């Protein structure tokens, strides 16, 4: 049985090879993955495993790098590097800062 994300061999239409600029946050997510892998805090296999664990509805709503940041956060929680509470507090701080700055 295939997982929702597994498109291998299925007709998916034409892939348009177009270049685009990445948003700053996307570049930061990529850099974060490189840094975590470089210091042994995360592997590409963990990245893939946690992306593949995303439910179909959420998977379809998320962009490529949104899936990555979800997977990175899940891996760090699973490894005990951060807690869910710590992540929630930091997210609330960032959200409050953005509201103050009018973003």
Looking at the 3D structure of the chain, how many domains does it have? 1
DSSP the chain: ---TT--TTS----------PPPHHHHHHHHHHHHHHHTTS--HHHHHHHHHTS-HHHHHHS-HHHHHHHHHHHHHHHTTSS-HHHHHHHHHHHHHHHHHTT-
What pLDDT tens digit does each residue of the chain (103 aa) get? 756 665 556 677 787 778 889 999 999 999 999 999 999 999 999 999 999 999 989 999 999 999 999 999 999 999 999 999 999 999 999 999 988 887 6
The answer as to whether 65 is a domain residue is yes
Q: Quote the pLDDT of residue 4.
A: 65
Given this model, what pLDDT does residue 84 score? 97
Is residue 72 in a domain?
A: yes
pLDDT on residue 8: 58
Question: Does residue 56 form part of some domain?
Answer: yes
Q: Domain range for residue 78?
A: 24-100
């Amino acid at each position: 049985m295939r997982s929702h994300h597994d498109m291998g061999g299925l007709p998916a239409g034409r892939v348009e090879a177009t270049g685009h600029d990445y948003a700053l946050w996307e570049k930061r997510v990529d850099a974060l993955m490189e840094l975590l892998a470089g210091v042994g805090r995360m592997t590409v296999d963990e990245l893939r495993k946690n992306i593949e664990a995303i439910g179909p509805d959420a998977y379809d709503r998320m962009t490529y790098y949104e899936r990555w940041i979800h997977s990175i956060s899940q891996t760090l929680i699973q490894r005990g590097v951060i807690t869910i509470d710590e992540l929630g507090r930091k997210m609330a701080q960032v959200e409050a800062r953005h509201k103050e700055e009018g973003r």
